[in-house]
């Protein structure tokens, strides 16, 4: 049985963590036919609002009401009392994740929550390179017990140097990983020219390296 949460839920968690604080709120009684999406669209009251803007505002409403999962968001009922934003502290518009950033956020979540994670040291002539695997269920029901989640290298000081992983949404390259994440959290494509595809926040970059360090220390492979 797979223990990691879905990529969609990981994305929701990441967006919610970066939403602005709501300074004032107002009560609302849910009417028949209303959903968080329709309420968000109505409350935004913006002509030609993008789906991203509506989605972020919907997640803001969900966060205010402790509706942190997709299931909870989809199960609000008529006559239910919820709260809507009255005044939002800070910039309401949120930066959209790139595909690369979303991929790394999902990998961090897997490292934290997936009980099928395992690590193996690569057999290379020099250097310290490690591969991380987990179980993955595919759309046809097949479960791979050796799905390559990511690889990472360790420098001479024992710190995580770089991380390589595949795009979680599509297969960019048949052989090898798609992205590199350097020490500064800069995400580049693993093919020349090495274009920048995203940037982790300092908190996200620290979390990624902390989870990998903890995994490596627990494995007992560091000094082998």
54 and 105 within one domain? no
Indicate the range of 30-39, 43-52, 83-92, 155-164 predicted with least confidence: 83-92
150 and 60 within one domain? no
104 and 85 within one domain? no
Residue whose entry in the numeric block shows the structure tokens 């509706």:
67
Task: Note whether residue 77 is domain-resident.
Answer: yes
Instruction: Using the predicted structure, report yes or no on whether residue 88 has a pLDDT greater than 70.
Output: no
Task: Note whether residue 177 is domain-resident.
Answer: yes
Instruction: Using the predicted structure, report yes or no on whether residue 85 has a pLDDT greater than 90.
Output: no
Task: Note whether residue 10 is domain-resident.
Answer: no
CATH number of 53's domain: 3.10.350
126 and 30 within one domain? no
128 and 213 within one domain? yes
207 and 137 within one domain? yes
**Structural domain boundaries enclosing 27:** 19-89
For position 1, what pLDDT does the model report? 34
Cβ 167 vs Cβ 178: under 8 Å: yes
Instruction: Using the predicted structure, report yes or no on whether residue 130 has a pLDDT greater than 60.
Output: yes
Choose one of 39, 58, 89: the last residue of a domain: 89
Across the chain, what does the average pLDDT equal?
85
Q: Tell me, yes or no, if the pTM score tops 0.75.
A: no
Task: Note whether residue 14 is domain-resident.
Answer: no
| Structural domains of the chain, count | 2
Average pLDDT over residues 131-141: 83
Q: pLDDT digits over 4-19, tens only?
A: 556 677 778 888 888 8
- DSSP code string of 3-37: -SPPHHHHHHHHHHHTSPEEEEEEEEEPPTT--HH
Task: Note whether residue 12 is domain-resident.
Answer: no
Choose one of 36, 63, 89: the last residue of a domain: 89
52 and 70 within one domain? yes
Average pLDDT over residues 140-155: 88
For position 96, what pLDDT does the model report? 62
* Residue 92: band (very low, low, confident or very high) from pLDDT cuts 50, 70, 90: very low
Residue 132: which residues within 8 A CB-CB, separation 6 or more?
111, 117, 118, 119, 148, 149, 150, 151, 152, 212, 215
109 and 47 within one domain? no
125 and 73 within one domain? no
167 and 125 within one domain? yes
79 and 124 within one domain? no
């Amino acid at each position: 049985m797979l223990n990691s949460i879905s990529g969609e839920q990981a994305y929701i968690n990441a967006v919610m963590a970066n939403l602005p604080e709501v300074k004032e709120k107002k009560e609302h009684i849910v009417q028949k036919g209303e959903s968080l999406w329709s309420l968000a669209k109505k409350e935004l009251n913006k002509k030609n609002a993008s789906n991203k803007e509506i989605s972020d505002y919907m997640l803001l409403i969900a966060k205010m009401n402790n509706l942190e999962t997709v299931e909870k968001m989809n199960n609000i009922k008529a006559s239910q009392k919820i709260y809507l934003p009255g005044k939002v502290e800070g910039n309401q518009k949120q930066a959209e994740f790139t595909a690369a950033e979303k991929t790394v956020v999902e990998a961090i979540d897997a490292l934290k929550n997936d009980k099928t994670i395992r690590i193996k040291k690569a057999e290379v002539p020099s250097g310290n390179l490690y591969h991380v695997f987990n179980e993955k269920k595919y759309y046809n029901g097949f479960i791979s017990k050796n799905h390559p989640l990511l690889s990472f290298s360790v420098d001479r000081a024992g710190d995580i140097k770089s991380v390589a992983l595949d795009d979680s949404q599509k297969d960019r390259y048949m052989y090898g990983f798609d992205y590199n994440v350097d020490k500064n959290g800069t995400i580049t494509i693993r093919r020349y020219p090495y274009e920048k595809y995203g940037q982790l926040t300092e908190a996200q970059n620290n979390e990624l390296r902390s989870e990998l360090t903890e995994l490596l220390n627990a494995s007992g492979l560091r000094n082998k």
